[in-house]
Copies of this chain bind each other. A is one copy, B any other.
């Protein structure tokens, strides 16, 4: 990471498909909200070039070395959506860039907030982000004609740090309850151990109530309006976090409405939760891409680097802009364009 402690470096990596469109606008918003810091020289916005599918395929690497090096010089990264090539075009065995970056920078906590104020819903998900089903993703075996095997692997340390992150967050934010979500009745070793370790960590936070649920029931709980606003903080193994946060984001209004933070000890990546929407580009509808998720990620990023005022100003401006646009903010032809939206956001900063 950035070795100059006096200067914060925020990298921006546009990604594929609609990525460059929404990132261009997001950069303008960041420049506006961070004007004073940029002017004083205490902060640099650093666009990372070449993080495209074409380059990744050409280099035969999920993230080319030069891109990795440029990213490493930053303190935090704002990242657009990336395309994972499908098997047919993927001779170089390019993996999901998301998964690769999470592992490379050891970003063990995937934090996703979801809120529906009218319903009293204020959820924060702590998804373990480097282990579980994702740890050995390409190391499974297919014994032709018969049997396929994949592995789920967790470590005590990996579990303890995500549990601690969830409880620390709960304590720091006055949350009353943490819910552990596993399928420990079936994945007895990995999820069983995850549940046990979370319960051990919980003992250090006696002021916080802990409950535990199986993932199937939790998927049901989130659509149960009678009880869902009782949940506050969730801690989950990787895959369950993946599933439940998409469900939760949709409950909030769409998978494209939530931001996502990937946090490690020395680095953090903030990203749009949605995909690169290649179809929108093919159909010539790229200008209608919705930058909300990326801008919500930016709100989390500003708060993470300690720019609380700016984070709050951007958050409020997003809310004001959303309110003004109402159903026009569709991410489809006929709605506001990406630029119209970000201009509205900037006018409300």
Measuring CB to CB, which residues of chain A are less than 8 angstroms from any residue of chain B?
84, 96, 99, 133-134, 137-138, 140-142, 145-156, 183, 185-194, 215-217, 219-224, 239, 242-247, 249-251, 254-255
Contact = CB atoms under 8 A, between A and B. Distances in A.
Contact of A188 (B140, B189, B217, B242): B140
Contacts of A249: 220
A210 to B, nearest CB: 16
Given A246-B220, A247-B247, A149 B215 contact: no
10 contacts: A133-B186, A140-B188, A147-B156, A151-B151, A216-B243, A220-B249, A220-B255, A221-B250, A222-B247, A247-B247
Given A148-B192, A150-B190, 17 more contacts: A96-B185, A137-B188, A142-B193, A146-B155, A148-B153, A148-B155, A148-B189, A149-B189, A150-B187, A150-B191, A183-B242, A215-B243, A220-B246, A220-B247, A223-B247, A224-B254, A247-B247
A216 B242 contact: yes
Contacts of A150: 151-152, 187-191
B239 A251 contact: no
A155 B147 contact: yes
Contacts of A153: 147-149
Nearest to A145: B156
Contact of A219 (B134, B141, B246): B246
